[in-house]
């Protein structure tokens, strides 16, 4: 396997896992919960539902199969039993001798009328069409419905034909003896309707986009239920597995592209290397927690707040994620995160366009307020900006959509204010994320500015010259970082701790030798060979890394300690080696170079230049402005020529700006003073 590909495997695995899992969560919530969690006959407890797109309503599975649902024009199927008429006639013959001749005549006419074509057991008055009368499996007769007789037609016949004084007697005969000889067969009718439905349209009507389907509090009637079922089908929740799979693949593409944009920018901004998984893991973990949290929050607000009209989805603090990203990386990465994450979370919200405008744009705004986080008040100012951004985008969006103040959902404004307050959770969350991912934020760097830190106190006591040098380097690095838009807080902290390795042997470094020698101790390097001296000097980088890890200093500070000399020469002792043993110099060349690596960030490059310039300008005799400017330019060009800044993301313009800012600050530190007169001379002149 290609070595470059192997370097990217860990990051690729984290990326793929995030895309698949988050796509699964979004797919589950993309189909709205209110399309499946309801019952026909219950009250609709969700918000007013309007058709999100045009769709057709399917006919019900049993539509047209019940007697009441049959239309006025249709074909009915009956089973005829000829033995019924015979039994009725036989029973009447047994009792008819007791009837009067006139009643016997009326009953005979009644039988002839009722059983001429068929006496049915269902009401057919008002219905038109035809009837199919079946006798057994082979005999079938088709008649118009008007030819058949039901109870209503019998009653009308009695009223119109029978004399009034005999009507009650005839009704008694009907109730006591007559039975229908044609019985309705619903199963046969249902089969007939299904066969016809196969040749007809399966849809009953069309619902247009924006059309009201059901209001909150409305009873879910069969008609509304069928519209909801058809909408659910249109969303694809009841489609076959291959359709859901295609939806999942589509989401994987969307989420993958958005996430790749964020990671690509993170890489271009030099915030991680292929071998470093922790920055990617932190970023994608924040993304994933936000997506899952938004989905669960939407579920809870839909299930537990059935009577409220408030847009509760505005309570979810999506901006918290870009805020965390900006604190751990920088405002530009936070800006990209606000766009990409806002687009992903919007997929599960009830009003995705509104949600992205309100929360996405406001998140973009707040991350730039976190460019420098050196006081707790900066965090509060940023949240104030967030709340203001919420209100402006919320009102602007609704005014644009409706053109009226009356239609604005004013209840959303206090909810957005609460959202801003919820983002205060970000401050304690910083500590949790730092411990989980072993990464440092601006809050940690603020704490490390305290000069009472154990390492800095040791440096002040054991190596006072190094301590003063570190303070000066920190000041130079901070000003330079501010000038070119680098992380000034991080640069200052790196400057404070870059030389802590000199605590192991402080007396072997020039800034401390002059102080210690005043107590009678001479330069200890006089008693060592050049190789031994170079080893002691090199050792301060290695020991500094050991101390930094022991005291849990941030990885950025550790990197600053490792790179602040790059792979430069330990020049003084290298020249001495060439003078004392020129024939052996080439054999031990590596021993007179620092181990590196080269600076890979702007802050590391600034630290290297600030350290070299602060130390070297102290040795300048008579540091006039001209000499100082020439020295600054020469040293920076020398570092560039040596390739020490090859990995640092500095532009030519930024190098020019660094040269200028270093010159100005060193000039202020190294300016010559007017000589003070001797005390006796001063008194004489007075």
616, burial (CB in 10 Å: exposed 0-12, middle 13-18, buried 19+): middle
Q: What pLDDT is stored for residue 202 in this prediction? A: 61
Residue 132 phi, psi dihedral angles, 5° rounding: -110, 115
- Percent of the chain scored above 90 by pLDDT? 21
Q: Would the pLDDT of 680 be above 60?
A: no
Q: What is the domain partition of the chain in residue ranges?
A: 3-31+242-437, 33-59+202-235, 73-195, 446-670
Q: What is the mean pLDDT of residues 278-288?
A: 90
CB atoms near residue 316 (< 10 Å):
23
Residue 538 phi, psi dihedral angles, 5° rounding: -60, -35
Beta-bridge partner residues of 77: 132
* Average confidence score pLDDT of the chain: 81
d(CA 594, CA 651): 25
Q: What pLDDT is stored for residue 664 in this prediction? A: 93
For the chain, give the number of residues: 686
Least confident of 32-36, 219-223, 517-521: 517-521
Residues near 92 by beta carbon (within 8 Å), at least 6 away in sequence = 107, 111, 173, 177
Q: What is the mean pLDDT of residues 298-326?
A: 73
CB atoms near residue 206 (< 10 Å):
12
Q: What pLDDT is stored for residue 181 in this prediction? A: 87
Cα 120 from chain centroid (whole Å):
67
More confident residue, 392 or 29: 392
- pLDDT tens digit string along 187-217? 887 777 776 656 555 667 888 887 888 887 7
Q: What pLDDT is stored for residue 681 in this prediction? A: 45
- pLDDT tens digit string along 402-411? 777 776 777 7
d(CA 340, CA 344): 7
Per-residue HEC secondary structure of 241-277 comes to HHHHHHHHHHHHHHHHHHHHHHHHHHHHCCCCCCCCC
Q: What pLDDT is stored for residue 55 in this prediction? A: 78
Of the pLDDT bands very low, low, confident and very high (cuts 50, 70, 90), residue 587 is low
Q: Would the pLDDT of 488 be above 70?
A: yes
CB-facing half-sphere around the CA of 177: CA atoms within 13 A: 23
CB atoms near residue 643 (< 10 Å):
11
Of the pLDDT bands very low, low, confident and very high (cuts 50, 70, 90), residue 585 is low
Through-space distance between the first and last CA atoms of the chain, rounded to whole angstroms: 86
477-513 as b/e: b if 16+ CB within 10 A: bbbbbbbbebbbbbbbbbbbbbbbbbbbbbbbbbbbb
Strands 73-80 and 128-135: parallel
Per-residue HEC secondary structure of 269-302 comes to CCCCCCCCCHHHHHHHHHHHHHHHHHHHHHHHHH
CATH number assigned to the domain covering 446-670: 1.10.3210
d(CA 35, CA 12): 36
C-beta separation of 55 from 230 below 8 A: yes
C-beta separation of 216 from 47 below 8 A: yes
H or E element that contains 213:
strand 212-214
SS3 content of the chain, % helix, strand, coil (to 5): 65, 5, 30
Q: Would the pLDDT of 495 be above 90?
A: yes
C-beta separation of 52 from 209 below 8 A: yes
Cα 25 from chain centroid (whole Å):
11
C-beta separation of 152 from 180 below 8 A: no
pTM as predicted: 0.62
- pLDDT tens digit string along 612-652? 999 998 888 888 889 999 999 999 999 999 999 999 989 99
CA dihedral over 292, 293, 296, 299, signed as positive or negative? negative
Of the pLDDT bands very low, low, confident and very high (cuts 50, 70, 90), residue 67 is very low
Residue ranges of alpha helices (H) inside 403-487 are 412-422, 426-437, 442-448, 454-462, 464-484
d(CA 667, CA 31): 67
**Lookup: tokens for 2:** 């290609």
Of the pLDDT bands very low, low, confident and very high (cuts 50, 70, 90), residue 52 is confident
Per-residue HEC secondary structure of 51-97 comes to CCCCEEEECCCCCCCCCCCCCCEEEEEEEECCHHHHHHHHHHHHHHH
**Lookup: tokens for 239:** 């489609």
Q: What pLDDT is stored for residue 546 in this prediction? A: 95
């Amino acid at each position: 396997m290609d070595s470059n590909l192997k370097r990217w495997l860990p990051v690729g695995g984290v990326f793929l896992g995030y895309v698949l899992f988050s796509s699964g969560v979004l797919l589950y919530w993309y189909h709205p919960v209110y399309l499946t969690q309801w019952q026909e006959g219950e009250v609709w407890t969700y918000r007013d539902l309007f058709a999100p797109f045009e769709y057709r309503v399917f006919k019900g599975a049993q539509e047209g199969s019940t007697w009441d649902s049959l239309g006025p024009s249709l074909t009915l199927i009956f089973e005829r039993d000829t033995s019924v008429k015979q039994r009725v006639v036989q029973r009447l013959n047994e009792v008819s001798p007791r009837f009067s001749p006139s009643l016997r005549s009326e009953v005979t006419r009644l039988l002839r009328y009722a059983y001429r074509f068929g006496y049915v057991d269902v009401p057919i008055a008002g219905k038109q069409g035809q009837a199919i009368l079946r006798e057994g499996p082979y005999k079938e007769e088709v008649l118009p419905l008007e030819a058949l007789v039901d109870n209503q037609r019998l009653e009308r016949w009695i009223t119109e034909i029978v004399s009034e004084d005999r009507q009650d007697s005839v009704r008694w005969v009907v109730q006591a003896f007559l039975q229908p000889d044609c019985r309705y067969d619903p199963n046969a009718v249902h089969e007939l309707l299904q066969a016809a439905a196969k040749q007809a349209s399966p849809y009953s009507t069309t619902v247009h986009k924006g059309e009201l389907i059901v209001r909150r509090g409305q009873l879910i009637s069969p008609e509304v239920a069928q519209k909801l079922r058809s909408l659910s089908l249109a969303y694809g929740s009841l489609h076959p597995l291959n359709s859901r799979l295609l939806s999942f693949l589509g989401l994987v593409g969307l989420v993958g592209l958005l996430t790749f944009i964020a990671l690509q920018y993170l890489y271009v901004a030099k915030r991680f290397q292929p071998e470093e998984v922790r920055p990617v893991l932190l970023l994608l973990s924040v993304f994933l927690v936000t997506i899952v949290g938004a989905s669960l929050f939407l579920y809870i607000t839909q299930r537990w707040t059935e009577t409220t009209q408030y847009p509760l989805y505005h309570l979810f603090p999506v901006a918290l994620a870009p805020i965390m990203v900006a604190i751990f990386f920088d405002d530009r990465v936070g800006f990209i995160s606000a766009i990409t994450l806002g687009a992903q979370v919007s997929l599960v919200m009830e009003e995705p366009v509104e949600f992205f405008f309100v929360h996405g744009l406001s998140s973009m705004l707040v991350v730039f307020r976190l460019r420098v986080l050196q006081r707790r008040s900066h965090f509060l100012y940023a949240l104030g900006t967030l709340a203001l951004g919420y209100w402006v985008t919320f009102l602007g969006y609704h005014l644009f959509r409706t053109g009226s103040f009356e239609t604005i959902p004013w209840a959303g404004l206090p909810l957005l204010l609460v959202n801003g307050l919820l983002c205060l959770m970000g401050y304690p969350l910083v500590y949790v994320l730092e411990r989980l991912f072993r990464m440092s934020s601006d809050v940690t760097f603020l704490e490390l500015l305290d000069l009472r830190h154990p390492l800095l106190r040791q440096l002040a006591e054991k190596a006072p010259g190094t301590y003063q040098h570190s303070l000066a380097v920190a000041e130079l690095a901070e000003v330079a970082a501010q000038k070119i838009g680098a992380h000034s807080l991080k640069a200052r902290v790196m400057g404070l701790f870059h030389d802590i390795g000199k605590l192991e042997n402080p007396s072997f470094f020039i800034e401390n030798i002059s102080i210690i020698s005043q107590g009678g101790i001479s330069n200890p390097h006089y008693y060592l060979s050049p190789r031994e001296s170079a080893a002691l000097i090199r050792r301060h980088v290695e020991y500094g890394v050991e101390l930094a890890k022991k005291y849990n200093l941030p990885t950025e500070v550790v990197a600053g300690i490792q790179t602040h000399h790059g792979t430069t020469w330990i020049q003084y002792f290298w020249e001495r080696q060439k003078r004392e043993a020129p024939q052996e110099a080439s054999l031990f060349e590596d021993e007179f170079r620092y181990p590196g690596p080269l600076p890979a960030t702007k802050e590391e490059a600034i630290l290297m230049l600030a350290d070299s310039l602060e130390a070297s300008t102290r040795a300048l005799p008579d540091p006039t402005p001209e000499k100082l400017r020439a020295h600054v330019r020469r040293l920076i060009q020398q570092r560039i020529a040596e390739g020490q800044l090859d990995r640092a993301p500095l532009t030519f313009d930024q190098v020019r700006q660094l040269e200028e800012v270093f010159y100005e600050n060193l000039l202020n530190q190294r300016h010559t003073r007017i000589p003070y007169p001797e005390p006796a001379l001063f008194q004489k002149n007075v």
